[in-house]
Structure 1
Amino acid sequence: MSKLLIYFHTLKFLKFSQFWYRALKKCRHPKVNVIEGKCRNRVGVWVTHFIYEQKFIDEKTVRFLNRSGSVVDHTAWNDNSSEKLWLYNLHYFDDLNAFGSEDRRDLQAVWINKWIQDNPASSGGNGWEAYTLSLRIVNWSKAFLSGFKYDQNMLNSLAQQADFLSQELEKHLLGNHYFVNLKALVFAGCFLNGYDADRWLRVGLNDLERELEEQVLRDGGNFELSPMYHAIMLTDLLDLVNLASVFPGKIPSDLLTKIKNKISLMFLWLENMSHLDKSISFFNDSAFAIAPDNEVINEYALKLSVPIAREQQKNSNIDFSVIHLADSGYISVDGGDVKLLADVAEVGPSYIPGHAHADTLSFEMSLGRSRFIVNSGTSEYGTNIERLRQRSTAAHNTVEINSLNSTEVWSGFRVARRANIVALDYPECSPHRVLFSATHDGYKKVGIKCLHKRSWLMEKANLQIIDEIDGIFEHAIGYLHLHPDINIIEYSNRDCRLMCGDYFVNISVKNGELSIVDSTWHPEFGKSVPNVALKVEYLANEVSTNIEWLKK
């Protein structure tokens, strides 16, 4: 019965269209058509900008997600002994737009020809799934526009891939998958010429504006509430602006204007949700080295002459700049030498929460350019125990009650009962302090009759966190995951002294018992770095944690 309830609470949020298109996908399969690829005449010049690290090492060796591998024959492309995400990356061809690509064009041509030979459409496999098709179509097109010497066989393959994708759009998933499907068809429809190319372009443009309006919220955040996927989509939009300059008129001018407006908002959101080291925070599925670095994205926009919105300079008489990103559900507090990022968000789009974590009321914090309190990050997808642990409440800087998750995450990308923000006190700001709070009902959803309220009070060199649990519970534990570079000087069951970069920090708790436990931090896929977490066992319904810092 419990399994049926989990399925019920998962499926009830889906759109009817997702059920419909999933059923269609079961009984309708794309046709493999042979199409001659012809290039469309270019009017403008493609602005080349490399954004990835090198992936192709030599004619047999590749490296993705911090793991090297070899492709010695055609079976390697779909080797079941390899992680699914690693195999997907093998088919993406990100290397075509990676740093130093100019020096690897001959090697890249070998890989393209190898892919064409080893992966005929009739054989299916990872390379013919809609998401991998979408990323590869764009990567090939961008490389060809950048001066890569392609031949007719490559153009024919590109056309066949676009035609196959046009029949295999991921309308059963929607979200970022569907957006990149549409983007790929727009790329293929612009780069290639002819009746089929015009059809792909129409299909791609048909839903692009609607998805743009839904997936980029009014505050500029991507609706999946992941800084990593936000940065990916921002890069996607810059690619579309670049494409429009090469083939003017193919992307309608009003849509192009909306894209540029969204880009401006997204840059502002990215700045607010990044740490003082200028890199993304780790909320929901987020890690480094998947999306381009912030500075790489900034440089791309500058090359395209796309304006980058920036926050106004902070008033020197005010200690903090406070931004409430109301639509996405985050609060960003910037004190110049301290940055606090708090999650007061809903789980995400109700019908596609696959990248959500059970992290409601978690937060991250940095002092200077040193990260201090960090969520655990993401090192893998899939359905194993470690994936579940990384999505769990205990892997984030928030409160776990009765050893349960605040949101019922399960499998690799599933969410059943989920926490909702039932009360939010907007930031109260004076020149030298900031106070805000939020309450969620996640534990009530899973049968524990209590609410969790968290308040943050930030002053010049002090942060006080007050957790109130309204109701009856057996046990509750608060976590503060420390960045691996943090050096603990001494601690007791009530306080802890440590060093964070150029700062001495003291953390003390009231109505709680503090201990230190081993943990791991996951800054990249395929990477696990030992760290420690402060674990606070709650001895009352109200527990306060005080964090003070002093520069050396």
Structure 2
Amino acid sequence: MSTLAWKLNRLKLMGAPEIVWRVRQLAQKKASKLGVGLVAKPPAPNLSAMGANFIGDAAGIDVAALRQAADNVLAGRWNVFAMRGLNLGFPPQWNRDPKTGTNAPMKLGKAIDYRRESVVGDIKYLWEPSRHLELVTLALAWRASGEQRYAAGARLLLESWFDQCPYPNGVHWTSSLELAVRLLNWAFAWQLLGGAESALFKGEAGERFQRRWLDNIYQHCHFIRGYFSRHSSANNHLFGEYMGLFVASVQWPCWPESARWQALARRGLEVEALKQNTEDGVNKEQAIYYQHEVMDMMLLCHHIGKANGAGFSAAYLERLERLAEFVAALMDAGGNVPMTGDADDAQMVRLAYEPDWSPYRSLLASCALLFERGEFKRKAARLDDKNRWLFGADGATRWDALAAATTEQPVMAFPQGGYYLMGSQFGTEREVRIVVDCAPLGYLSIAAHGHADALSFTLSAAGEELLTDPGTYAYHTQKAWRDYFRSTAAHNTVQVDGQDQSEIGGNFMWLRKANAKLLAHVPQGTVQVFEGEQDGYRRLADPVLHRRKIDFDATSNVLVVLDTLECRGTHDVALHWHFAETCRVEGRAQALFALGRRSRLDMQCSFGDGPELLRSSEAPLGGWISRRFDEKEGITTAVWRGRISGSTQIETRIALALV
């Protein structure tokens, strides 16, 4: 999409107040080219004012895994999304995209169009190392081992970044969210390395290093304060920006502005925690990985704030608890969570290096301790290293004393968030879990991280995914793949005339949006029922209303899916079903079977000429899954295609057999 077309689409989704605000932002950026509004020279910090320690002793952590990770960083081997063990050197070239080799320009950051691959390369790969999660890795390794080479490496990494990324020039001075995440990691590294009394700050050279770091912290805070994400961009970015400003002003209350920054950020976090998350615990971006990110931000802000006498309100914490209940409801007996909406694999800070670490289980473990919830402990299964670092020996003692729930009784309906469960024998080896999406497309006018997945559902049996959501794969680059993975065709629902339910307007923008509506949900009894409708295809010349009814017989483990398409004219219709990579799928006539490790699924549908099985197909696109950002692999996608004339009902019967 051309830059002009993107700008026109973006303008369509703005109201008058946002247009005025963006004009002011543009004027501010132009003025900054003349030095107006920039920090001429950071004021001297008050070194007697420093935040309290918020990191535990972390007894029982996997020291070997941590040291291996730290040794890899010192050896110049980095993991950046799909590029594992990447030789970036130590320290790396911070302004060189490791994926494309593009050197980003060293001019005023706000004058750089970071969305243009020809200018910066793949911006995600360029930004990720500069979040400085690896700095924390080195600091953790020093704290765990006492080996000076890790602390020295942390100092070298920071000084190289200061040298190569001078305020306010380059791509690392463009996005306030990136600065905010960097501040969070700096706060952890600062404390882990010994705080203001760190040996790294001793002597004349150490004092210069400390002052240089504090000057950068001040510049980061000043930058974020001047460039908050507002209006249609006020999603997780705004929450993260408040997080960075809050953590920095609590950790380093060294300047006259610090108290104002802290008050502003704290107030913003309290407001956005309730505004961006529904009362029943669903993040409004309709993207489960972003729900995890916002939960982590909420948790870390409260944890750091509480250590400094600035914890958050009961309403804030209650909303975090509801968010955890939603994650627990989505997670099946095998620990799988549907990949609904966008995901970019971001961690706010990395404190765990176990090979089987799960961000969702980790958050549930945190919330088990925070809210004394045995249900969350059951789902989390164990106390991971991240929580050992956060809560220390006291947290481990409280974890051991907390009785795990003996049975699982998930919340079955999230009417404000738009998700509904059906299933049986939850939390056991005989579990069947069905999660139905009857939610809005996304948050605010651009719905940036939503997917066109209305009335789609996922299905797992015996803790094994069968019908799955294929994930995200791409963001700023590879437009065809970006569009496919968030399309209707990439979800377990009905596509009409080859169109998406909602209209794509850009990589993080939707124009006309489908509205989903619940008609019925009966999660109890022998036969459980869901029924809903979505109006995304009513925009067609001959409008089509899609209604879906799902009956689940919990005794026989049979689902009957009835798709009703109300229309007058003729339309091409496709039903897509995406099977997890562990499934072996074979089709025959009007049916197919999918054989998993612990279950078997038989699907029958008389529509069209029977299933077309796609695997790793590029024409048409289909048969792909992305478990991690910028990585994809083949799965089987089954498509039933046919033409309808007038209102039509299509029945699909799905029978499960558990091994």
TM-score normalised according to structure 2 size: 0.75
**Following the alignment from structure 2 to structure 1, what is the Cα–Cα distance between the partners of residues 12 and 510?**
11
The answer (yes or no) to whether the contact 2:550–2:560 under 8 Å persists in 1 is yes
Indicate whether 1:89 and 2:136 are aligned: no
Alignment of 1:50-449 (within 5 A): 57-58=73-74, 60-67=76-83, 68=86, 70=88, 72-73=92-93, 75-76=95-96, 79=104, 80=119, 82-98=121-137, 101-103=140-142, 104-147=150-193, 149=198, 151=201, 152=210, 153-172=212-231, 173-193=233-253, 194-248=255-309, 250-251=310-311, 255-286=312-343, 293-301=359-367, 305-308=370-373, 310=375, 323-335=412-424, 336=426, 337-383=431-477, 384-421=479-516, 423-449=517-543
Bigger-Rg structure (1/2): 2
Q: For residues 270-301 of structure 1, what are the alpha-carbon distances to aligned partners after superposition, in whole Å with 9 as ceiling and x for unaligned?
A: 11122332243111113667576112223334
Q: For residues 235-292 of structure 1, what are the alpha-carbon distances to aligned partners after superposition, in whole Å with 9 as ceiling and x for unaligned?
A: 11111121122210x45xxx43222211111110111122332243111113667576
Query: How far is 1:333 from its partner?
Result: 2.2
In structure 2, relative to structure 1, the CA distance for the partners of 1:165 and 1:66 (3 Å cut) is same
The answer (yes or no) to whether the contact 2:537–2:545 under 8 Å persists in 1 is yes
| Partner SS for 2:627 | coil
**Following the alignment from structure 2 to structure 1, what is the Cα–Cα distance between the partners of residues 614 and 50?**
62
**Following the alignment from structure 2 to structure 1, what is the Cα–Cα distance between the partners of residues 592 and 9?**
41
Indicate whether 1:483 and 2:572 are aligned: no
| Partner SS for 1:376 | coil
Which among 538, 548, 551 is matched to residue 457 of structure 1? 551
TM-score normalised according to structure 1 size: 0.89
Aligned residue pairs total 540
**Following the alignment from structure 2 to structure 1, what is the Cα–Cα distance between the partners of residues 611 and 344?**
28
| Partner SS for 1:517 | strand
Give 1:76's aligned amino acid.
Answer: R
Provide the alpha-carbon RMSD of the alignment. Answer: 3.1
**Following the alignment from structure 1 to structure 2, what is the Cα–Cα distance between the partners of residues 90 and 446?**
45
Match of 2:400 in 1: none
| Partner SS for 2:435 | strand
Q: For residues 10-47 of structure 1, what are the alpha-carbon distances to aligned partners after superposition, in whole Å with 9 as ceiling and x for unaligned?
A: 64543544323321221103413432344534456434
Give 1:212's aligned amino acid.
Answer: A
Query: How far is 1:501 from its partner?
Result: 1.9
In structure 2, relative to structure 1, the CA distance for the partners of 1:409 and 1:47 (3 Å cut) is farther
| Partner SS for 2:604 | strand
Give 1:133's aligned amino acid.
Answer: L
Query: How far is 1:534 from its partner?
Result: 0.8
**Following the alignment from structure 2 to structure 1, what is the Cα–Cα distance between the partners of residues 604 and 335?**
29
In structure 2, relative to structure 1, the CA distance for the partners of 1:361 and 1:312 (3 Å cut) is farther
Match of 2:589 in 1: 493
**Following the alignment from structure 2 to structure 1, what is the Cα–Cα distance between the partners of residues 303 and 362?**
15
Give 2:263's aligned amino acid.
Answer: R
Give 2:419's aligned amino acid.
Answer: Y
The answer (yes or no) to whether the contact 2:224–2:241 under 8 Å persists in 1 is yes
Which among 39, 44, 55 is matched to residue 46 of structure 1? 55
Give 2:130's aligned amino acid.
Answer: H
The answer (yes or no) to whether the contact 1:463–1:547 under 8 Å persists in 2 is yes
| Partner SS for 1:117 | helix
The answer (yes or no) to whether the contact 1:60–1:70 under 8 Å persists in 2 is yes
In structure 2, relative to structure 1, the CA distance for the partners of 1:85 and 1:436 (3 Å cut) is same
Q: For residues 192-243 of structure 1, what are the alpha-carbon distances to aligned partners after superposition, in whole Å with 9 as ceiling and x for unaligned?
A: 1231211221221242222121012111111111110101111111111211
The answer (yes or no) to whether the contact 1:321–1:333 under 8 Å persists in 2 is no
Match of 1:530 in 2: 634
The answer (yes or no) to whether the contact 1:376–1:521 under 8 Å persists in 2 is yes
Q: For residues 499-532 of structure 1, what are the alpha-carbon distances to aligned partners after superposition, in whole Å with 9 as ceiling and x for unaligned?
A: 1221122111133432211211001102111111
Sequence identity (%): 17
Q: Which segments of 5 or more consecutive residues in structure 1 lack a partner in the other structure?
A: none
**Following the alignment from structure 1 to structure 2, what is the Cα–Cα distance between the partners of residues 192 and 258?**
27
